[in-house]
Amino acid sequence: MSPRSKPTPGRTQASGRPSRRAEYAEATRRAVIDEARRLFSERGYFATKVDDIAAAARVSPATVYVVGGKQGLLRILVDLWSAAPEVDTARRSLEEAEDAAEILRIVADLTRRMREDYGDVMRVVLNTAPHDTAAAEGLAIATQRYRDGTAAAARRLADLGALRDGIDAERALDILWFYFGYQGFFTLIDDNGWSHAQAEEWLLTAARQALLRS
């Protein structure tokens, strides 16, 4: 390979494949994020030090700061959770659904899957936000995304004329948030020891009774 044909470090090769350096950088970044997530969950955000993350990921502390440091890593985790691909998939399903019971099923199913996949991140952010400005800002962004998705379900129910008398889309959002917001699911699985499936089915049944016409 001539000097002119060598791939630029950190960029893709002419074939479109990432260079080895880019692949290594991404693998390193992924390791730092994964270890930060594990340590934040196991020890708590404040008890976890940059040196702890570096040691677990087998990189230098400087590399952890390059990825974002503790605050940057927490923001990355917030984005991984609140902008997860399954959220967009569920939103598209909501827009296409023509049955009120199916809409609630989509919401309940997404709630369970998000708790299974990102419940550890949610707990870290919820526990850290009251004591850290950056965490509070991240939680505010995540909550807005969360409520926007839930609002889409409430509007769809209203458009279908499926809501009980006296319940409009705004009130339906509040009721959906009561059942499928942060606390309901965590109370059932953390405090009561229910399985994710049991919590999903109970919340679905309760929301259906509260929202839908007979």
**CA–CA separation, 107 and 94 (whole Å):** 8
pTM of the model: 0.84
Could you read off the pLDDT of 147-193 as tens digits, one per residue? Answer: 999 999 999 999 999 999 999 999 999 999 999 999 999 999 999 99
Spatial CB neighbours of 71, under 8 Å, sequence gap ≥ 6: 132, 134, 135
Domains, the chain, in order of start with CATH, read: 17-67 (1.10.10), 80-211 (1.10.357)
Exposure string for 122-154, b = 16+ CB within 10 A, e = fewer: bbbbbebbeebebbeebbeebbebbbebbbbbb
Could you read off the pLDDT of 29-73 as tens digits, one per residue? Answer: 999 999 999 999 999 999 999 999 999 999 999 999 999 999 999
Spatial CB neighbours of 168, under 8 Å, sequence gap ≥ 6: 158
Average pLDDT score, the chain: 91
User: Out of 5-14, 161-170, 194-203, which region has the weakest mean confidence (pLDDT)?
Assistant: 5-14
- Looking at residue 19, what is its pLDDT? 82
Instruction: Of 71, 39, 41, give the one whose Cα is nearest residue 53.
Output: 39
- The pLDDT of residue 3 is above 80: no
